[in-house]
Amino acid sequence: MSVMADAPKALVFDVFGTVVDWRSSLIADFTAWGAERDLQVDWAGLVDAWRQAYAPSMDEVRKHPECGYKMLDTLHRETLEQLAPRFGIVGASEPELRYLTTGWHRLKPWPDSVAGLTRLKSRYIIAPLSNGNVALLTNMAKFAGLPWDLVLSAEIFAHYKPDPETYLGAARLLGLVPEQVMMVAAHNNDLAAAQALGLKTAFVPRITEYGPLQSRDFKAEGDWDVVAADFNALADRMGC
Amino acid sequence: MSVMADAPKALVFDVFGTVVDWRSSLIADFTAWGAERDLQVDWAGLVDAWRQAYAPSMDEVRKHPECGYKMLDTLHRETLEQLAPRFGIVGASEPELRYLTTGWHRLKPWPDSVAGLTRLKSRYIIAPLSNGNVALLTNMAKFAGLPWDLVLSAEIFAHYKPDPETYLGAARLLGLVPEQVMMVAAHNNDLAAAQALGLKTAFVPRITEYGPLQSRDFKAEGDWDVVAADFNALADRMGC
């Protein structure tokens, strides 16, 4: 298949779930860390509960603009402290809480992510457009070998996706109109928000993202510009 | 020489003059472009005058916060339109003015820049910390092959260097304290501002930056943490 006629200049990527496998990465990281400390914790349960608190914690930021923007590291830390007692984590030290919170900086890519991104970078500007804060995304890129050209983050716009300020802010900072930017995500709702603002869209399914809890995003549910099985297939479709 | 005991986590770089040779790049680019169009213009004179207007144009932004922040592409365009008649550039079309303005996106690195940055990236987070806007720095990185981990720009902080918001904003976004960030520049005044805020400093002389108009920055004029002849020598000093 040939490249679309009016190809974008930049591809911006959702990260948690789309580029990296947060669930398996965190469970493996914490399980190994806990074993060294002889901790008996349901790490999968903690990780799933932590992620379930993600959307509500961002909603709280939206509902209380008078409190200012809180970056994702801060939300993750607050949620962890709320969840810890339920999972038997009591008396954790500051370095231990910090280690767990920055687990979100140490996520592994899906097997095709680095190869696909590297190919796409040869022809397009590539950047995350994630709710992760800049330090989280930067540290993750170093850890996982993600070859971003630049890091775009909700933190820069002081708004979380799917607020319009994020998608439009990305285009503005890149000096592009929305049609010149393609949003790549494994989540139909992220693409719907981007498409409504004029961005191009690409869906890449990640059907094991939530493990046994996966309940949606098994397939494309919108009229996206591209649907590709993985990042290598996306690179094929984008002429790289 | 061994690496400093309390090595930084990130190196942030001045770009115009420190990483890229803006003067030679622009003169060569415009001379070739003008020759194709049979234009008789003193391109070196235009480039030098354009750069001389740089600091005053940023001062105007500082003096008039009520007008909001203007990114460097905008200042470059305004200055070009002011200078054009003096250099016999009249009746230029919008695409022509745009081509000249985005000449600042098409700058070539000094011979050691890409090799040195690539080495430094293996051990440190590397980013520009430049008055150039994000699109300018991103396009330049693609053009020149600069392997940044992320792009930090005055535009993100809505302040131009040497305003403190830029240096402190870079550390904040990286999740680091100022002492964990090293500013690298060919300009003593940039390093002085960074050092006063607690950042580490590295001076790399670029004594041909201004061509025959060079009047300063021939050597280190402060107590910088590192002074290196070029980016490869800097990589040596930083243990890469």
Q: Span A26-53, mean pLDDT?
A: 97
Same fold, B10-21+107-237 and B23-105: no
Strand-pair partners of B185: B203
Using the predicted structure, report yes or no on whether residue B2 has a pLDDT greater than 80. Answer: no
What digits encode the pLDDT tens for the residues B133-175?
Answer: 999 999 999 999 999 999 999 999 999 999 999 999 999 999 9
Going by pLDDT thresholds of 50, 70 and 90, the confidence category of residue A3 is low
Is the minimum CB–CB distance between A177 and chain B shorter than 8 Å? no
Going by pLDDT thresholds of 50, 70 and 90, the confidence category of residue B46 is very high
Paired tokens of B215: 């009047």
DSSP characters over chain B:
-PPPTT--SEEEE--BTTTB-HHHHHHHHHHHHHHHTT----HHHHHHHHHHTHHHHHHHHHH-GGG----HHHHHHHHHHHHGGGGT--S--HHHHHHHHGGGGSPPBPTTHHHHHHHHHTTSEEEEEESS-HHHHHHHHHHHT---SS-EEHHHHT--TTSHHHHHHHHHHTT--GGGEEEEES-HHHHHHHHHTT-EEEE---TTTTGGG--S-SS--S--SEE-SSHHHHHHHTT-
Q: Which of B138, B143, B152, B174 to mutate to test the interface with A (most CBs of A within 10 A)?
A: B138
Report the candidate in A228, A222, A153 with the shortest Cα–Cα distance to residue A194: A222
Provide the CA B155 distance to its chain's centre, in angstroms: 13
- Reported ipTM: the value is 0.96
Q: Span A34-45, mean pLDDT?
A: 96
Phi/psi for B128 (5° steps) reads -70, 150
HEC per residue, chain A: CCCCCCCCCEEEECCECCCECHHHHHHHHHHHHHHHCCCCCCHHHHHHHHHHCHHHHHHHHHHCHHHCCCCHHHHHHHHHHHHHHHHCCCCCCHHHHHHHHHHHHCCCECCCHHHHHHHHHCCCEEEEEECCCHHHHHHHHHHHCCCCCCCEEHHHHCCCCCCHHHHHHHHHHCCCCHHHEEEEECCHHHHHHHHHCCCEEEECCCCCCCHHHCCCCCCCCCCCCEECCCHHHHHHHCCC
Residue A11 one-letter amino acid: L
Interchain CB distance below 8 Å, B174 and A73 = no
Is the minimum CB–CB distance between A68 and chain B shorter than 8 Å? no
User: What is this structure's pTM?
Assistant: 0.97
What digits encode the pLDDT tens for the residues B19-31?
Answer: 999 999 999 999 9
Provide the CA A5 distance to its chain's centre, in angstroms: 28
Report the candidate in A182, A225, A231, A181 with the shortest Cα–Cα distance to residue A205: A231
What digits encode the pLDDT tens for the residues A120-172?
Answer: 999 999 999 999 999 999 999 999 999 999 999 999 999 999 999 999 999 99
- Note whether A195 and A167 are within 8 A (CB): no
Return the pLDDT at A206: 98
Using the predicted structure, report yes or no on whether residue A1 has a pLDDT greater than 90. Answer: no
Q: Is A218 exposed, middle or buried (0-12, 13-18, 19+ CB in 10 A)?
A: exposed
Q: Span B177-190, mean pLDDT?
A: 98
Interchain CB distance below 8 Å, A125 and B133 = no
A10-21+109-237 in CATH: which number? 3.40.50.1000
Strand-pair partners of B155: none
Residue located via tokens 């349901």: A42
Return the pLDDT at B227: 98
Using the predicted structure, report yes or no on whether residue B17 has a pLDDT greater than 90. Answer: yes
Mean pLDDT across chain A = 97
Length of chain A: 240
Neighboring chain A residues of B149 at a CB cutoff of 8 Å = 138, 141-142, 148, 151
Report the candidate in A216, A194, A191 with the shortest Cα–Cα distance to residue A206: A216
Using the predicted structure, report yes or no on whether residue B3 has a pLDDT greater than 90. Answer: no
Fold of B10-21+107-237: Rossmann fold (3.40.50)
Going by pLDDT thresholds of 50, 70 and 90, the confidence category of residue B59 is very high
Paired tokens of B120: 């430094």
What digits encode the pLDDT tens for the residues A45-104?
Answer: 999 999 999 999 999 999 999 999 999 999 999 999 999 999 999 999 999 999 999 999
Neighboring chain A residues of B148 at a CB cutoff of 8 Å = 149-150
Q: Which CATH class is domain B23-105?
A: mainly alpha
Q: Is the dihedral of CA B172, B175, B181, B186 positive or negative?
A: negative
Angle between helical axes of B188-196 and B164-173 (0-180°, round to 10): 60
Domain boundaries, chain A: 10-21+109-237, 23-105
Return the pLDDT at A191: 98
From A142, A156, A176, residue closest to B149, measured CB to CB: A142
What digits encode the pLDDT tens for the residues A187-240?
Answer: 999 999 999 999 999 999 999 999 999 999 999 999 999 999 999 999 999 999
Return the pLDDT at B81: 98
Interchain CB distance below 8 Å, A142 and B155 = no
Going by pLDDT thresholds of 50, 70 and 90, the confidence category of residue A2 is low
Q: Which of B150, B151, B153, B172 to mutate to test the interface with A (most CBs of A within 10 A)?
A: B150
Paired tokens of B153: 């720009």
Is the minimum CB–CB distance between B104 and chain A shorter than 8 Å? no
